[in-house]
Each structure stands twice: as structure tokens, then as C-alpha cells.
């Protein structure tokens, strides 16, 4: 049994292990090549997060999904590079919007070089992803464009907030389907599609990726409160400080409205106050860590991970399917 990546994915089959390791190594080389520029400063900024590491969750999914066809097909590694470049680009933009100071355990690009450089570097990565994508054919371009539209729409909907009368939790889960689920679904879809897998297999893996993506982001929501920066690579409470309505906060507000408990209302008032103050933020994190709302968010994470697992049912039993099932457990474990 060999452990692959920061998710602790255990691969029991030597052939699959070799394919996954080789695929991820090739993706890493592709990322470094794609982020080179004739301008040294652009190279430095574009490779800032690449060299900081990361889970490479999306390339891992591309590699595993490719096992249901020809895992050595030429489009697999480039499509994984495209998906990861797109993800990295969104991180540069997210950190500007969130005014984040730390990303993957290093100073964020906006902290190091300012917002303008961070935004433009993200744009540079989008451009490089598009350049690679053009060689993968019109279907790949269309799929990526549709996913990117969903991603941006999710971000806009998060910024705008729910419409009048819309349940905030339902709104937020729709946001996550766009912001995170769309690109992880594409990772699974590209891996299967580029490998020449049957169309029904492509559809199954796409649905799996969508649900796993939401579970993945919900786990991040929990980690923003429950973990320290050494575990998450981000400053704890970043989302709280910026007033981003993550699921634990939405569950708290829901509970406060339904039950009307004074301690819940008091915590809501604390979250609505100026959390730029470090002591106030620390108090909010401490109180949320022991609040039932955080446990409810964990249960929501488990539910989406179980839906992802169930989506895999039509696939034939094999080591790649077992690894995909194990990823559902790994995502839940992050939020545990």
C-alpha cells in the first residue's frame, strides 16, 4: 500500500500507483513550463503558488478518471495542467477579493506584490491555460468555457447574496456547485474523455466530481474555523474576517432564527461586528469551534461525500474506482 499526495490516498495496485505518480510528475513539469515567461518577474509571480506546492487534487482526479480508458492517451496530462492552471488563477483572484495574507503557507501574491500584480498574474495563468486548451480540440474548449462561466457565476452570486425569499443555505450550496464543483467535475470529465472512456463512464465521473467538489469546499469551510494555519496553509478565520457567509456561519444564523437562543444571537452579533480586531476574531473562532453549527456543517460535508460515492455505483469494480471512493473518505476526514 502506497500513500499518494497530501490526501493520504492509499494505492494498493502497483500499476495504478505508477500511473498516478508518473501522471502527477508530468503535470508538475507541465505547470512549471506553462508558467514561464520571457519576463523574469512574470515567471516569479506566476510560479509563486506552483512552487508553494498544494494538494494537486484536480490533476489527481484527471489521472484516476483516465484509468477507465487509455491512461497513456496524449491529452490527459495537458488537460490536467489546464484544470490546475485555472484553479491557481482563481486563487490569485480570490486572495485579492478576500484580502488574504497567506496562501499555501506562504505570503499571498497580493500581500507580496500588491493587488494589481496578483490580478494580472491570475489573468496570465488563464491565458496560458487557454493556449494549451486550444490544442485539445473544440469540445474541450467548450467544456472548459462552460465550467469557467459557472465558476464566475458562482463567484458573482456569492458576492450578490441570495435573492429575497431564497434560503441562504440553498443559495450557498448552488454557489459552491459553480465555484468549486464545476472545475472538479471538469477534471473528472477531461480525464475520462481524453482517455477515450465510454460516454456513460464520462457522465458518471462528471457527476461524481460535481458532488465531490461541493464536499471538498464544505470541508474547507470547516477547516477555516477548526484548523490552524499549519494544517490549512491559510490564516484561520480568513473567511470570517471578510464576512464571507460560509456554511458553519449560515447554519449558525439558521439556528439562531429558529431557536432564538440568546447565546446564538450573541455569537451572530459578534460575527457581524468588526472582526479586523484580532482578539474579537479569535473569540469568534473559539466559540464557533464548540458550536453545534460546526457539527451540522460537518454532517453536510459527509452528505455530499456520500452522494459522490453513490454516483460511482455504475462503474465496474477496479482499483481506480476504489481510489475514487477513498477520496470521498479523505475529503470527509479533512473536516473531521
Per-residue pLDDT at 10 exceeds 80:
no
Per-residue pLDDT at 142 exceeds 80:
yes
The predicted pLDDT at position 231 comes to: 55
pLDDT, averaged across the chain: 90
Q: Return the CATH superfamily for domain 2-334.
A: Farnesyl Diphosphate Synthase (1.10.600.10)
Report pLDDT digits (tens) over 67-119.
999 999 999 999 999 999 999 999 888 777 766 777 777 878 888 888 888 89
Q: Please, where are the H alpha helices in 12-137?
A: 14-34, 40-46, 48-51, 57-65, 76-98, 109-113, 115-134
The predicted pLDDT at position 222 comes to: 93
Q: Taking residues 216-243, what's their average pLDDT?
A: 79
The predicted pLDDT at position 12 comes to: 65
The predicted pLDDT at position 221 comes to: 92
The predicted pLDDT at position 234 comes to: 60
The predicted pLDDT at position 128 comes to: 96
Instruction: Work out whether the CA dihedral 240, 244, 247, 251 comes out positive or negative.
Output: positive
Higher pLDDT, 69 or 226: 69
Higher pLDDT, 33 or 227: 33
Q: Taking residues 224-228, what's their average pLDDT?
A: 84
Domain boundaries, the chain: 2-334
CB contact set of 80 (below 8 Å; sequence gap of 6+): 23, 27, 30, 58, 59, 62, 63, 187, 190, 191
Q: Taking residues 48-70, what's their average pLDDT?
A: 92
Q: Taking residues 214-229, what's their average pLDDT?
A: 88
Amino acid at each position: 500500500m502506497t500513500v499518494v499526495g497530501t490526501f493520504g490516498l492509499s494505492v494498493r495496485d502497483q500499476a495504478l500507483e505508477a500511473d498516478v505518480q508518473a501522471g502527477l510528475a508530468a503535470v508538475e513539469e507541465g505547470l512549471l513550463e506553462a508558467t514561464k515567461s520571457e519576463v523574469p518577474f512574470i515567471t516569479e509571480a506566476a510560479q509563486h503558488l506552483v512552487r508553494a506546492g498544494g494538494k494537486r487534487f484536480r490533476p489527481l482526479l484527471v489521472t484516476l478518471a483516465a484509468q477507465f480508458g487509455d491512461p497513456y492517451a496524449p491529452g490527459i496530462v495537458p488537460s490536467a495542467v489546464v484544470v490546475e492552471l485555472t484553479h491557481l488563477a482563481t486563487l490569485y483572484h480570490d486572495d485579492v477579493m478576500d484580502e488574504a495574507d497567506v496562501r499555501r503557507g506562504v505570503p499571498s501574491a497580493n500581500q507580496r506584490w500588491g493587488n494589481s500584480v496578483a490580478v494580472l498574474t491570475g489573468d496570465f495563468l488563464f491565458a496560458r491555460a487557454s493556449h494549451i486548451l486550444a490544442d485539445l480540440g473544440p469540445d474541450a474548449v467548450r467544456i472548459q468555457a462552460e465550467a469557467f462561466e459557472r465558476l464566475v457565476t458562482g463567484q458573482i452570486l456569492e458576492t450578490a447574496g441570495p435573492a429575497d425569499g431564497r434560503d441562504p443555505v440553498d443559495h450557498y450550496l448552488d454557489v459552491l456547485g459553480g465555484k468549486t464543483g464545476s472545475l472538479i467535475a471538469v477534471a473528472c470529465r477531461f480525464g475520462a474523455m481524453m482517455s477515450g472512456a465510454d460516454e456513460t463512464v464520462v457522465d458518471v465521473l462528471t457527476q461524481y466530481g460535481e458532488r465531490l467538489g461541493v464536499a471538498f469546499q464544505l470541508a474547507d469551510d470547516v477547516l477555516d474555523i477548526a484548523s490552524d494555519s499549519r494544517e490549512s496553509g491559510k490564516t484561520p478565520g480568513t473567511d470570517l474576517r471578510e464576512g464571507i457567509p460560509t456554511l458553519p456561519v449560515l447554519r449558525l444564523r439558521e439556528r439562531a432564527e429558529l431557536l432564538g437562543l440568546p447565546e446564538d444571537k450573541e455569537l451572530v452579533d459578534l460575527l457581524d461586528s468588526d472582526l479586523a480586531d484580532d482578539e474579537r476574531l479569535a473569540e469568534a473562532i473559539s466559540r464557533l469551534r464548540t458550536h453545534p453549527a460546526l457539527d451540522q456543517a460537518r454532517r453536510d460535508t459527509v452528505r455530499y461525500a456520500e452522494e459522490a460515492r453513490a454516483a460511482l455505483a455504475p462503474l465496474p469494480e477496479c482499483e481506480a474506482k476504489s481510489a475514487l471512493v477513498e477520496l470521498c473518505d479523505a475529503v470527509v476526514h479533512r473536516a473531521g
